Copies of this chain bind each other. A is one copy, B any other.
Amino acid sequence: MRPRVGVVGASGYSGAIAARLLAGHPDFELTFCTSDRFASEAVERHLAVPTSLTFETNGSALALAETVDAVVLATSAKVSAELAPAILEKKKHVVDLSGAFRLATSGDYSKWYGFAHPAPALLDRAHYGLPELFGAPRHEDVTLVANPGCYPTAALLPLAPLLKAGLVEATGIIIDAKSGVTGAGRQATEEMSFAEVDEDLRAYRVLGHQHTPEITRMLGRSAPEVRLTFTPHLLPIRRGILATCYARPRSGTTKEQVAACLADAYAKTPFVRAVAPERVTIASVAGTNHARVGATADADVVIALGAIDNLVKGAAGQAVQNLNLLFSFDETAGLGHLQRIAP
């Protein structure tokens, strides 16, 4: 019998894609989806997946968790922080798409997310689910996977190997990232209306985005004392992130070395591929769970780029990848068939 999985918050963009991927997954069985917005309506109607499920209310998530082996939380950080501990107590695995278990201390949550974390003891225990860098989540008695943020995924993939190899300095790192609109989730605001976003580009939350401490913390696994600047921009596209990262080269670092470093790091990963910097494009990965990374250098700078689909490798696809690894299925199960959107 296939392991059973449910998705809480399945009407948001990431949750919907998680539900679609699981509904078509050969090794898991999707057995519930919750959404207050669509409660009691057919999942098939809204998600265009072949399933006879109807949406349950979000309030029933905890009760429904009893009936499955693992739960995907596509909820806000605040809701996830409350819900995950309760589900773990029921001895069910949790893969959380929010930032609720990605930072180090409860103080970080007060500062960056604006709420007091209700379960700070879990912060150390959560597995940061970026398999190419940090391996598969261990299938413990019960596992909590903190699924990485979209911007952190796009930035960590090109930067971490270079930092670990000692090719770049750990301070003075610049991450200039650009994201399509779905990174912000479903929005009913004038700011995100087509008339305001189309033909525009702007930076936002300059020096204040909550993914800054997440990237800093996780880069810190490759080198001590990381200091970085992260600037997100809003692109007039639906899906995809390009992170253009700048670091100071250690003495003697060459462009051949940085290119080789990434090629080696991802030589055997099914989803991440090292290519020339100009081929690290959003169009080449959007729609898929793939990432592209690339790097070059001169005497002044190392430039490392990463591109992903923010909803797939940056959210739902990576969640399924983590579930695959957690249950010892093929890492690409239910993901390999995804075709890129670009013709």
Contacts and interface: CB of A to CB of B under 8 A. Distances in A.
Interface of A: 13, 16-17, 20, 24, 48, 50, 171-172, 174, 176, 178, 180-182, 186-190, 192-207, 227-229, 231, 233, 235-240, 242, 244, 246, 248, 277-278, 280-284, 286-288, 290, 296, 298, 300-301, 303, 305, 311, 336-343
Contacts of A236: 194, 198, 235-237
Contacts of A200: 237, 240, 281-283, 342
Contact of A341 (B50, B174, B337, B341): B341
A201 B178 contact: yes
A203 B172 contact: no
12 contacts: A172-B172, A174-B174, A181-B195, A187-B190, A187-B193, A201-B242, A203-B244, A205-B278, A206-B303, A231-B303, A235-B235, A338-B339
A201 B237 contact: yes
Nearest to A12: B343
Given A20-B339, A187-B190, A190-B188, A300 B202 contact: no
A40 B238 CA distance: 35
Contacts of A281: 200-202
B176 A311 contact: no
Grouping DSSP codes into helix (H, G, I), strand (E, B) and loop, the A interface class, with mixed when no group exceeds half, is loop
Contacts of A303: 206-207, 229, 231
A305 B343 contact: no
A186 B190 contact: yes
Given A198-B236, A287-B341, 18 more contacts: A13-B343, A24-B339, A48-B339, A176-B176, A180-B199, A188-B188, A192-B193, A194-B194, A199-B239, A199-B240, A200-B237, A200-B282, A200-B283, A201-B240, A203-B244, A235-B235, A236-B236, A238-B343
Contact of A246 (B199, B202, B246, B340): B246
A174 B282 contact: no
A280 B244 CA distance: 20
A225 B78 CA distance: 49
B311 A343 contact: yes
Nearest to A205: B278
Contact of A193 (B181, B246, B290): B181
A288 to B, nearest CB: 8
